[in-house]
Amino acid sequence: MDNQTMTTPTMLVCPDAESASLKAAELFAEAIRVKPNIVLGLATGGTPVAMYRHLVRMHRNESLDFSRVHSFNLDEYLGLPPDHPQSYRAFMQKNLFDHINIDPANTHVPDGLTKDPERHTAEYESLIRRAGGIDLQLLGIGHNGHIAFNEPGSAADSRTRVIELAEDTIRFNARFFDSIDAVPHQAITMGIGTILQSRQIVMLAIGADKAEAVRRAVKEAPSIECPASLLQTHPHVTFVVDQAAVS
């Protein structure tokens, strides 16, 4: 990492989880209004649910127009069909896509049932390039510092690929499934290199349990042992956090 230019991410510290979610939604809404055909990178999990709720409200009440927006999701569990309740395609439909006027053809989530993962992941990268690249990428942060499903040790120049999930990630995500045995052990994920090619990045982190990961991401030297710390090598990163996540 010695040849990388380091920048200190912008930190927007909000009083609580709700205000942090609203601030992140406002950043995305402003970007959509400035560039109606924007290409968004989207995340899943518990953290962005309230943010998506605010975007839906802005669409309904403030005429936020998604009709020309394109989106690419960070990841999907390998082996889950799109209608599985814990698939990330189902998550996006439930929490955002079904409630806004985005063109379904413009929403892209990796195919968890692909029969040729190597070809599919290469095509996903190609789709992003053909769309002009990601303008604004939303990220969450894992307890071990992972971004998307790029676990510690993932290469800084990694691209979209199949990855083995860490045991800690499987245990943490088991709360969304009937049992830990139901959690897939593999996922398709955008690579760190893909993420870092986004023009702007917003990291949304909420809760005291994310405080150590946030600290490492912004204070420690960039390292593949904390993938989020590699965001320091990107010139336009904004952390939106609640007070608990920096306490």
Active-site position among 54, 70, 73, 75: 75
What is the end-to-end Cα distance of the chain in Å, rounded?
Answer: 28
120 given a catalytic annotation? no
Element (H, E) at 137: strand 136-139
Site of tokens 């995340």: 43
168 given a catalytic annotation? no
Q: How far is CA 41 from CA 16, 123, 166, 168, 201, in A?
A: 24, 16, 23, 25, 9
178 given a catalytic annotation? no
Element (H, E) at 211: helix 211-219
How far apart are the C-alpha atoms of 220 and 197, rounded to whole Å? Answer: 22
Element (H, E) at 14: strand 10-14
Active-site position among 106, 144, 150, 173: 144
Active-site position among 54, 59, 108, 146: 146
95 given a catalytic annotation? no
Active-site position among 76, 111, 135, 151: 151
Encoded tokens for 162 = 């199949």
CB 11 within 8 A of CB 42: no
Q: Is 162 left (phi over 0), alpha (psi -120 to 50) or beta?
A: beta
In 84-191, alpha helices (H): 88-95, 117-130, 167-173
Residues with catalytic annotation? 75, 144, 146, 151
